[in-house]
């Protein structure tokens, strides 16, 4: 439900007087692009709340402050710096708390430079090598602290083994670091329709590999408050389930086969039967795969910067479910 009570006719009138909305290049009726009013030196601060729920149980909740600063003009858009700070782990599964605390502390205070296009959409990391170096230095600092604590020292080896592969894999590292910035800026540069949602077929990256999952998005301007200078816009994305199941299933099996290839030769005779079993189990589990993203954005109608954002991703299979919630609230 929209945060503001606005008729369709009033919405169209209000949009016509706002610089952040432009008629979409597609020319579709009552369809507009959200154009950010970015400028050098802009600095925005947000409270970030994260929650992960697995099979109905809260796995963790955390809170931090993130700062986003527009630092440079580039040939294709902008360079912006993302810096997290003040991270607190509010709730966590006791079995995962030590790892989560180290993972969250890994990027505490570390500046991450992002590339944005002209529409304010996140394109990638500006300097992956620099981010890797920051991460490696931060990891060593955190592990030194872990080793200095009698209660946590025995976990140092396991923590290093869990974190180092992510730091070494550029694609995985970039994906993990861009997740929250991409959500905060998720409304930027998209086309929206007043009245019926605008349906767009696009792709999102697979969480397990380099493939792309086809999705159907529904984008809509839901309301505008002229006195509060706020716009309420939203989108919903759902997957093409059969294609996603085939793609993700193939990626899961590839991981299983790589793991199996590392087994000692003495168990080689078991590999073929195990591969068939794994394929059957993966196919059964993914037959019921479901995945959707819901985004709710309140944006400032003078700049298009988000005032608040709530993003919910739900993933479920026959074997279980996961719900990730990310919320941003602008700090004045």
pTM over 0.75: yes
Planar angle of CA 308, 127, 79, nearest 5 degrees: 45
Residue 125, pLDDT score: 93
Pairing state between β 320-331 and 43-54: antiparallel
- The token duo for 208 is 């397990």
CA 296/CA 237 separation, integer angstroms: 12
Residue 1, pLDDT score: 55
Q: Following DSSP, what letter does each residue of 125-190 receive, concatenated?
A: ES-HHHHHHHHHHHHHHHHHHHHHSTTTGGGHHHHHHHHHHHHH-HHHHHHHHHHHHHHHTTTTT-
| Element (DSSP H or E) covering residue 114 | strand 112-117
Residue 132, pLDDT score: 84
Cβ atoms 328, 296 nearer than 8 A? no
Cβ atoms 55, 321 nearer than 8 A? yes
- The token duo for 199 is 């349906």
Give pLDDT tens digits for 171-181. Answer: 778 878 888 99
Q: Classify burial at 116, counting beta carbons within 10 Å of its beta carbon; exposed 0-12, middle 13-18, buried 19 or more.
A: buried
Cβ atoms 299, 235 nearer than 8 A? no
Residue 102, pLDDT score: 74
CA distances from 189 to 36, 105, 122 (A): 7, 32, 10
CA distances from 183 to 145, 180, 254, 294, 307 (A): 32, 5, 29, 11, 13
Pairing state between β 212-225 and 191-194: parallel
CA 281/CA 284 separation, integer angstroms: 5
Give pLDDT tens digits for 279-319. Answer: 666 566 566 777 889 999 999 999 889 999 999 999 887 77
Cβ atoms 192, 200 nearer than 8 A? no
Residue 254, pLDDT score: 61
Residue in the block written with tokens 């912006």: 80
Residue 262, pLDDT score: 45
Residue 330, pLDDT score: 97
Residue 49, pLDDT score: 97
Cβ atoms 285, 293 nearer than 8 A? no
Low-confidence ranges of the chain (pLDDT < 70): 1-3, 5, 205-211, 245, 247-287
Q: Give residue limits of the domains in the chain.
A: 1-35+189-332, 38-188
């Amino acid at each position: 439900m929209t945060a503001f009570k606005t008729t369709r006719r009033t919405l169209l009138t209000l949009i016509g007087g706002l610089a952040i909305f432009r008629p979409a290049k597609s020319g579709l009726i009552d369809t507009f692009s959200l154009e950010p009013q970015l400028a050098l030196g802009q600095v925005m601060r947000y409270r970030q709340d994260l929650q992960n729920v697995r099979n109905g149980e809260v796995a963790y909740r955390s809170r931090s402050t993130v700062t986003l600063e527009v630092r440079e003009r580039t040939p294709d858009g902008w360079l912006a710096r993302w810096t997290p700070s003040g991270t607190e782990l509010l709730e966590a599964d006791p079995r995962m708390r030590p790892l989560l605390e180290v993972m969250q502390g890994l990027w505490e205070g570390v500046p991450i430079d992002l590339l944005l296009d002209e529409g304010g959409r996140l394109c990638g990391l500006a300097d992956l090598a620099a981010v890797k170096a920051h991460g490696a230095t931060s990891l060593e600092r955190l592990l030194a602290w872990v080793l200095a604590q009698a209660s946590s020292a025995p976990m140092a080896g396991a923590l290093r083994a869990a974190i180092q592969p992510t730091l070494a894999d550029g694609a995985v590292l970039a994906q993990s670091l861009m997740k929250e910035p991409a959500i905060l800026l998720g409304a930027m540069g998209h086309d929206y329709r007043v009245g019926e949602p605008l349906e767009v077929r696009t792709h999102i990256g697979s969480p397990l590999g380099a493939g792309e999952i086809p999705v159907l998005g529904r984008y809509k301007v839901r309301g505008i408050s002229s006195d509060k200078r706020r716009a309420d816009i939203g989108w919903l994305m759902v997957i093409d389930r059969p294609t996603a199941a085939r793609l993700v299933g193939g990626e899961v099996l590839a991981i299983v086969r790589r793991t199996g290839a590392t087994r000692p030769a003495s168990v080689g005779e078991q590999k073929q039967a195990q591969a068939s079993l794994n394929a059957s189990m993966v196919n059964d589990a993914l037959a019921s795969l479901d995945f959707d993203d819901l985004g709710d954005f309140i944006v400032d109608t003078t700049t298009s910067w988000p005032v608040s954002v709530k993003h919910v991703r739900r993933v479920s299979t026959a074997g279980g479910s996961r719900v990730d919630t990310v919320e941003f609230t602008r700090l004045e």
